[in-house]
Chains A and B, each alone.
Chain A
Amino acid sequence: MIVEFGHFALVLAVVVALFQTVVPLWGSLTKQPRLMETAKPAAILQFVLLCFSFAALTYAYVVSDFSVANVAANSHSTKPLIYRISGVWGNHEGSLLLWVLILALFGSAVAIFGNELPQTLRANVLSVQASIALAFGIFMLATSNPFLRLENPPLDGRGLNPILQDPALALHPPFLYAGYVGFSIAFSFAIAALIEGRINAAWARWVRPWTLAAWMCLTLGIAMGSWWAYYELGWGGWWFWDPVENASFMPWLAGTALLHSALVMEKRETLKVWTILLAILTFSLSLMGTFLVRSGVLTSVHAFAVDPERGVAILLIMTIFVGGGLALFALRAGELRQGGLFAPISREGALVLNNVLLTTATATVLVGTLYPLLLEGLTGAKISVGPPFFNMTFIPLMVPLLIALPFGPFLPWKRGDLQGVAQRLIIAALIGLVAMVATMAVASRGPWLAPIMMAIGVYVMVGALQELAFRAKVGSAGREEVLRRLWNLPRSVYGTALAHFGVGLMVIGIVATSAYRIETVLVMKPGDKVDIANYELTFKGVAPFRGPNYREQVATFDVSRDGVPLTTLSPSKRVYDAPPQPTSEAGIHAAWRGDLYTVLGDAQVEDGGYAIRLYFNPLVRFIWLGALLMFIAGGISLSDRRLRVGAPRRKSRQPAVAVAPAE
C-alpha cells in the first residue's frame, strides 16, 4: 500500500507542479497578488509530496519489496542496509525521483526563505522552477515510473552492481544532483528576470548563494566520483575525460564562471547580460548531462535510435528549456541596462578573463564530448576523442587562468595597478620557482612541463595566502593590528582565499601524480620481495575469504620502509553473489608524500606466482584535499553575513577604493 501512496503522491506532486507553473506566472503577468502568493504553499506542498513519494520508494527498497519492478531489478535481499538505501538512486527511475525531489527542495527553500524577494520575482522564479519539475514529472510517469508493480514478483532481486556498493558512491549521486539541480535556481532566476525585463544587484545577491551551494555540492560530488574511481577501478586513475565525467565537469566549469560573474554583477551591477547567459548555459549543461547519461547516446548513436523513447523525451525537455531560455534571452537581453564601467586592468577585468577562459574550457570539453557523436550521426565517420585531445586543449587554457588567478583578488574594482600587484606577487612567484627547482632535484625524469606546473600550483597557493596577509597588513602593521584585521576580515575573503588555495593544491596533486607516478607490473611468488619508492614489499601469499555478500581472494603484503615494518596491505579480487560479478579491491597505503597502491592480478598458470601491479602515486591526495578545501571554502563564504540569504544590508562600495594600492 505504501508504494501505491508513494505513486499517488508523485502524481499529485506533478499536478501541484502544473498549478505552480501556471497560476503564479499568470498572477504576475496580470498583477494579481493573490495568485502570485499561491506559489509559496504550492512549492512547499510539492516538496512534501515528493518527500513522501521518495520515502515510499526507499521503504520498498529497505523491506526488499520485489513486487515493485524497480526494486526487483536493482536490489537484493542480502545487500547491507546502506546499499539497499543507496540503491534507490542507483538506477534510472529512482535517480530521476531524487532529481525531482532535490528540484522541489530548492524550490521550497526559495519559497520559505524568499520573503524579502519582490513578489513578482518570487512568483516567476517558483513558476519556472515548477515548470522544470512538471516536465520531469511527466517524463517519469510516462517513461520511467519507479512505482510499477510486477504481476509475478521474483523471489529475490537482481542486485546492485557491486562496484557501486561503496560508501563514496552511495553519496556521490545525491551531491552531484544537488549540484546539477541547484543550478536550476540560477536558471529560474535568470528566466524570471528576463520575463520581467529588469535585473539589479539584488538579483545577483540572491542568485549567488544558491549558485554557490550548488557549486559546492557539484565540486564534492565530482571529487567523490573521482576518488571512488581511483580506489575502486583498480589502477589508480582518477580522471578519464570520459563523456559522463565531462557531462558533470561542464556544468562545474560554467558554474564556476557564473559564480565569478555574479560577483561582478552583485558588487558592480555590470556584466548583467553575461551573467544571465551563464546562468542559462550552466543549467542547460546540467540538463545535457542528464540527457547524455540517460539517453544511451553515449554508448552509441545507434543504441539511441533503437530505444529512443526516453532519449527523445529528454531531448524534448532540453529543447524546450534550453531553446526557450536562449530565445527569451535573445528577445529580452537588450532591455537589460548595463551598469558601471571599468578598465581592463581591474577586479572586473580579472573576473572577465576568468569567464573568458572558463567558458572556452567549457566549450572545449563540450565539443570534444559531442563531436564524435555529431560526426557519426551526420557523416557516419567514426573518430575518437580521448584524453590526449583534452589534455592538449584544456591545459593551455588552464595555465593562463592559474597565472592570472592570484592577481584577481588583489586588484581593486574599476581600475587597478597591474605592476603594483605583480610586485607583491613576486614573493609567490619566487616560492613557486623554489618549488620548481626542488621538483627538478627530486625527480630526474618526467615531462619538462611538470616542474613549471608545480611552480604554478605553489604560486597559486602562496598567492592566496598573500592576499590574506595583504588585507591584514602583515609586515606594515603591528601584531595586534594584524590579528584584529584578520579577525575582522569578511568570511567571504577567507572563502575566496581558501578556495584558491585549494585550486593550487589540486594542481600540485594532479601534476605530481600524472608526471611522476611510478609503476611496475611483475609476477610474484609468496616470499618474494620488491622495492618501490623507498618502500620494501614482501608478498606473503593469497588466501580465500568470505564477506557478507561476496567471496574474495586476498593477497597480503608486508610493507616496510628503511627496514622498519610499516603496515600490511591486502589487495583482493572479489566475486559478488548477486549479480555474480568480479571486482578488484586495491590495497592502498596513504601518506602525505603519496599513495602506495597495490593490485592483485591473475594467478600465473605456469609457476604458481601472481601478477602484481604496484604503483606509487606522489601527492595524489592533494587532488581531493584541494576539492574538499573548495567545498569548505564555499561553506565559509556562504556563512558570510552579506551573502546570507535574505540579509538586507548592502555593502558600501567605499572599502573597495580603500584597498587600492597607494600610488
Chain B
Amino acid sequence: MQALAPKHWLYPLLAIAVLLFAAGTDSVRAVQPDEVLKDSELETRARQLSLELRCLVCQNQSIDDSDAPLARDLRLLVRERLKNGDSDSEVLDFIVSRYGEFVLLKPPFGWHTLLLWFTPLLVLFGAIWLARSVMNPGRTAAAAAANGAGAAEPALSPDEEAKLKRILDKG
C-alpha cells in the first residue's frame, strides 16, 4: 500500500487536537529503499538537501519526511542532479527555477524577506536597549556604590517604618 496523503499537515492540527476530519496517514515515511544512492557521500548530500526542500503538496513538511508522490519525485530529481555533478546550490537553484521560492524551507535573503531575517536582531537590540534603561546605567555605578551602604533603597514611609518594626518585633 502506497502512502496516499501527506501526514505532516496533520500533526499541527493534532498537536492541539483540534480538527479531526483528516486525510489518511500512512506508515512509511520518506526515502524508499530503491531511492538510496550507492555513493554514500552523494546520498548524505541528497538527504541534507531534502531537509531544506518543502513538499509542495504537504503542510509544512520537508520532502525528506513526506510520503507524497511529489516528494518522491523531488527526491529522485535531487539525486539525479547530484549524480550529474551539480553542486548543492546548483541543485537548489534548479529546483527553485522549476517550483519557485516556496519550495525552500529556509527562505532566501531578499527585500521581501528582509523583515523576517532582521526581526530577531531588531528585537534583540530593542530588548537590550530596554534592559539598559531598566538598569539605568547613569545611576547604576552610583547605586552600586551606594548599595554597599544600603542607601540606594528609597526611604521608607512612616507607614512602612511601622510595618517593618512590627515584622522585626515579631521575628
Residues of A in contact with B (beta carbons under 8 Å apart): 74, 89-92, 95, 158, 160-161, 163-164, 169, 172-173, 176, 225, 229, 233-235, 237, 240, 242-245, 247-248, 270-271, 274, 289, 293-294, 298-299, 338, 340-344, 348-349, 352-353, 355-357, 359-360, 363-364, 367-368, 371, 375, 379, 381-389, 392-393, 397, 414-415, 521-523, 573, 581-584, 599-602, 604, 611, 613, 650, 652
Known contacts A356-B127, A381-B112; 9 additional CB pairs below 8 A are A91-B20, A341-B143, A393-B120, A414-B144, A522-B33, A573-B27, A582-B27, A611-B28, A611-B32
A652 to B152, CA, bound (A): 17
Shortest A248–chain B CB gap in Å is 7
**A611:B62 contact, CB within 8 angstroms:** no
Q: Given the complex, which residues of B lie within 8 Å of A270, measured CB to CB?
A: 134
B28 touches A172 (CB 8 A): no
Name which of B20, B29, B52 has the most chain A CB atoms within 10 A of its CB: B20
B124 and A385 within 8 A (CB): no
CB distance from B51 to the nearest CB of A (A): 7
B22 to chain A, nearest CB (A): 5
**9 A/B residue pairs, CB under 8 Å, sorted by A:** A169-B17, A225-B15, A341-B143, A341-B147, A349-B135, A355-B131, A381-B112, A383-B104, A386-B54
In-complex Cβ contact of A521 among B12, B36, B103, B136 (8 A): B36
**How many interface residues does chain B have, given as a range?**
35 or more
* Contact, CB under 8 Å: B131 / A356: yes
- Residue of B20, B62, B65 near A161 (CB, 8 A) is B20
In this complex, the member of A74, A229, A414 whose beta carbon has the largest number of chain B beta carbons within 10 angstroms is A414
A352 cross-chain contacts in B, Cβ below 8 A = 131, 134-135
Complex formed: what's the CA distance from A414 to B60 in Å? 46
CB pair B8–A92 under 8 Å, yes or no, is: no
B13, B15, B29: most-surrounded residue (chain A CB, <10 A): B15
Taking the closest CB of chain A, its distance from the CB of B38, in whole angstroms, is: 13
A385 with B107: CB separation less than 8 A: yes
Give Cα distance in the complex from A523 to B29, angstroms. Answer: 14
A342/B135 in contact, CB under 8 A = yes
- A384 engages B105 (CB within 8 Å): yes
Query: Is A379 a contact of B135 with CB atoms below 8 Å?
Result: no
Partner of B25, one of A294, A375, A582: A582
Known: A164-B14, A363-B120, A582-B26. A389 touches B106 (CB 8 A): yes
- Chain B positions within 8 Å of A349 at CB level: 135
Number of CB contacts from chain A to chain B under 8 A: 236
The 3 closest A-B pairs by CB, nearest first: A584-B27, A386-B105, A244-B12
Cβ contacts under 8 Å, B139 to chain A: 341
**B127 to chain A: closest residue by CB:** A356
Enumerate B33-91 residues with CB–CB distance to A below 8 Å.
33, 36, 51-52, 54, 59-62, 65
Contact A389 B107 (CB under 8 A): yes
Residues of B within 8 A of A92 (CB): 18-19
Closest to A392 in B: B106
Query: Counting chain A CB atoms within 10 Å of each CB, which of B25, B52, B120, B153 scores highest?
Result: B120
Residue of A nearest to B27 (CB): A584
| Chain A residues within an 8 Å CB radius of B11 | 229, 233, 240, 242, 244-245
Cβ B119 vs Cβ A242 within 8 A: no
Tell me, in angstroms, the Cα distance from A393 to B59 when the chains sit together: 22
Contact present for A384 and B102 (CB under 8 Å): yes
Which residues of B does A touch, CB under 8 Å? 1-2, 7-22, 24-33, 36, 51-52, 54, 59-62, 65, 100-107, 112-113, 115-116, 119-120, 123-124, 127-128, 130-131, 134-137, 139-141, 143-144, 147, 152-153, 167, 171
Determine the distance from Cα of A67 to Cα of B104 in the docked complex, in whole angstroms.
47
Whether the pair A95, B153 counts as a contact (CB closer than 8 A) is no
The CA of A463 and the CA of B134, in the complex, are separated in Å by 28
| Across-interface contacts of A245 in B (CB, < 8 A) | 11-12, 15
CA distance A600 to B112 in the complex (A): 43
**Chain A neighbourhood of B140, CB < 8 A:** 341-344
Return the chain B residue nearest A264 by Cβ: B134
Contacts of B52 in A (CB 8 A): 386, 388
Separation of A74 and B18 alpha carbons in the complex (Å): 11
A397 near B120 with CB under 8 A, answer yes
Question: Chain A residue with minimal CB distance to B146?
Answer: A341
In the complex, the chain B residue whose C-beta lies closest to that of A226 is B15
Return the contact of B119 from the options A289, A359, A364, A375 (Cβ within 8 A).
Answer: A364
Given A340-B152, A356-B131, A602–B106 Cβ distance below 8 Å? no
Chain B contacts of A338 at CB under 8 A?
A: 134
B28 in contact with A599 (CB, 8 Å): yes
Contacts of A371 in B (CB 8 A): 113, 115-116
Are B102 and A163 within 8 A (Cβ)? no
Inter-chain contacts of A383 with B (CB < 8 A): 101-102, 104, 107, 112-113
Closest residue of chain B to A361 (Cβ to Cβ) is B120
**Is the CB–CB distance between A521 and B144 below 8 Å?**
no
Q: A340–B20 contact, CB under 8 A?
A: no
Q: Give the chain A neighbours of B19 by CB distance below 8 A.
A: 91-92
Q: Enumerate chain B residues within 8 angstroms of A584, measured Cβ to Cβ.
A: 25-29
Q: Let me know if A583 and B27 touch, CB within 8 A.
A: yes
**B28, B107, B115: which has the most chain A beta carbons within 10 Å?**
B28
CA of A395 to CA of B7, assembled, Å:
27
Known: A90-B20, A160-B20. A240 touches B25 (CB 8 A): no
Check A169/B107 contact, CB under 8 A, given A341-B136, A393-B120.
no
Q: A235 near B30 (CB under 8 angstroms)?
A: yes
A243 and B12: CB pair below 8 A? yes
Q: Is the CB of B124 within 8 A of A387?
A: no
Residue in A92, A235, A247, A348 with the greatest tally of chain B CB atoms within 10 Å: A235
Give the distance in Å from the alpha carbon of A90 to the alpha carbon of B102 in the complex. Answer: 32
Q: Which listed residue, A237, A368, A397, touches B116 by the CB 8 Å rule?
A: A368
Q: Are A234 and B116 in contact (CB under 8 A)?
A: no
Q: Are B24 and A386 interface neighbours, CB within 8 A?
A: no
The answer to whether B152 and A385 touch across the interface, beta carbons within 8 angstroms, is: no
Taking CB atoms, residues of chain B closer than 8 Å to A229 are: 11, 15
A523 in contact with B33 (CB, 8 Å): yes
Q: Determine if A384 and B65 form an interchain contact, defined as CB atoms under 8 angstroms apart.
A: no
Q: Shortest Cβ distance from B30 into chain A, in angstroms?
A: 7
Complex CA distance for A515 and B70, rounded to whole angstroms: 28
Question: Nearest CB to that of B32 among chain A residues?
Answer: A611
Do the beta carbons of A581 and B16 come within 8 Å of each other?
A: no
CA gap between A161 and B128 in the complex, in Å: 46
Is A176 touching B16 in the complex (CB atoms < 8 A)? yes
Closest to A573 in B: B27
A341-B152, A371-B116 given; A235·B29 CB < 8 A: yes
Are A602 and B2 in contact (CB-based, < 8 A)? Answer: yes
For the complex, give the distance between the alpha carbons of A381 and B102 in Å.
9
Nearest opposing residue in chain B for A583, CB measure: B25
Chain A proximity of B87: nearest CB distance (Å): 18
Chain B nearest CB from A160 CB (Å) reads 6
CB proximity of B45 to chain A, nearest CB, Å = 14
Within 8 Å by CB of B120, from A172, A360, A521, A523, lies A360
Q: Tell me which of A340, A348, A379, A613 contacts B29 (CB under 8 A).
A: A613
Q: How far is the CA of A533 from the CA of B65 in the complex (A)?
A: 22
Q: Do A172 and B33 touch (CB < 8 A)?
A: no
- A267 → B minimal CB distance (Å): 13
Task: Please state if B119 and A363 are interface contacts (CB–CB under 8 Å).
Answer: yes
Q: Point out the residues of chain A lying under 8 angstroms from B60, CB to CB.
A: 240, 242-243, 384, 386
